[in-house]
Structure 1
């Protein structure tokens, strides 16, 4: 049996939800036809954690339950600062790929790293308080790139500025648009995006954080579906 040696990179994805109570929509864009990973697919903004993400100051910290769940079931090679870095990466990728700001007006305490210069020039510090960790999935073996992706849900009301202005977006995603949740699964989507959309639909009217976070742990041997609790699971959690 061959074993996939493709390195797994930590990554963060942002699901921005607007008009939750009326006509819910999510922000999506299309990857290029020549992209090495998921070409032509419609996806949420997101990408791999960069080195500067480990050192970014957050204007508002993540909630305790988010932090606990992000620290649960880590791969052995994962950095102990990955929790903060994942929140930072989510905010940076949202900014780079859509031009939208999840941040609070405030000066930076020190000069930002290269990856954060453009964001810092907007006069904002990243705001992690509105992000909810709702899903985790590792790319299955055999793909050209593999990611340990954490999906974060945020309400569009938490963003700063005009949420319809994508003029500052990079060219990584095309056809940026607010997609009605009821129509999203008719687009050309990766399988995992379809699964996450179903999860979002089920949480539309949920208050607070989810009771558990689904985790698709795709290893070299088999795909395994588990849940992250942020605490030791009880017998009731496990159906006992």
Structure 2
């Protein structure tokens, strides 16, 4: 087990709430490489939301029951499925698929940026709710361009706990933009493309900064690969620890 990352120094265990089992969640980090340095998309959360008010975050949220049943334009790559199934507790391939699809759904719902592909099956797929923009454009969600960047479990004692998988995708994978999703009364009130380590991220949640640090290291080595070790942040021994989930884990 690796030593605690410096982002979490001084963080203490919280016993103000009873134990809650973490719920599966997914987050999508969109990367823009059109300039001299890569930029990532973050959104500023509304000041009145319960979870991380006012913080800059990646779009994301918990997995819905429907995420495994939604038809997709292409299956998740076998290498991505294998990455998601590293570590424990072990998950089924259907859960791996649901996590990837949830990341796409949450990104479209919170930012209006949708990763999909034209399909004749889209209009007959009965996509509704958060998936309605896909149906209207004749799209099905396309998880084939996603990479797994990190996994993190919220420490015990928090009012909400998530077992979150952080995915990334290139901005070029965005195929549709839903207007008027970002506004003063929305969950995310602002979207910004920023370089990793830039000023808007100085006050980001420690986990956001820790994941971005790992992403920055991955980007520095060249194109993203599915066989790279996956950082796994979790609370152990009274402190946040970072393990790595290797391909044979």
Q: TM-score range by the shorter chain?
A: 0.7 to 0.9
SS across alignment from 1:204:
helix
Cα distance in 2, alignment partners of residues 216 and 146 from structure 1: 13
Deviation, 1:225, is 2.3
Deviation, 1:101, is 1.3
Deviation, 1:126, is 0.7
In the alignment, structure 1 residue 37 sits paired with structure 2 residue 51? yes
Would you say the 8 A contact 2:32–2:39 is kept in 1?
yes
Q: Which runs of 5+ in 2 are unaligned?
A: 1-14
Cα distance in 2, alignment partners of residues 186 and 208 from structure 1: 22
Cα distance in 1, alignment partners of residues 111 and 228 from structure 2: 30
Task: Please list, as runs of the form range in 1=range in 2, the aligned pairs for 1:189-200 lying within 5 A after superposition.
Answer: 189-200=204-215
The equivalent of 1:52 in structure 2 is 66
Pairing partner for 1:167 from 166, 180, 205: 180
Number of residue equivalences: 229
Deviation, 1:227, is 1.6
Cα distance in 1, alignment partners of residues 164 and 57 from structure 2: 13
The equivalent of 1:96 in structure 2 is 109
Cα distance in 1, alignment partners of residues 42 and 229 from structure 2: 25
Cα distance in 2, alignment partners of residues 130 and 8 from structure 1: 27
Task: Give the TM-score normalised by the residue count of structure 2.
Answer: 0.81
Would you say the 8 A contact 1:135–1:150 is kept in 2?
yes
Would you say the 8 A contact 2:26–2:100 is kept in 1?
yes
Deviation, 1:4, is 4.5
Cα distance in 1, alignment partners of residues 237 and 93 from structure 2: 24
Per-residue displacement from partner, 1:179-207 (whole Å, max 9, x unpaired)?
23341564320101001111121122422
Task: Give the TM-score normalised by the residue count of structure 1.
Answer: 0.84
The equivalent of 1:207 in structure 2 is 223
The equivalent of 2:242 in structure 1 is 225
The equivalent of 2:132 in structure 1 is 117
In structure 2, relative to structure 1, the CA distance for the partners of 1:148 and 1:219 (3 Å cut) is: farther
Pairing partner for 1:83 from 85, 96, 103: 96
Would you say the 8 A contact 1:20–1:204 is kept in 2?
no
Q: Which runs of 5+ in 1 are unaligned?
A: 233-240
In the alignment, structure 1 residue 146 sits paired with structure 2 residue 165? no
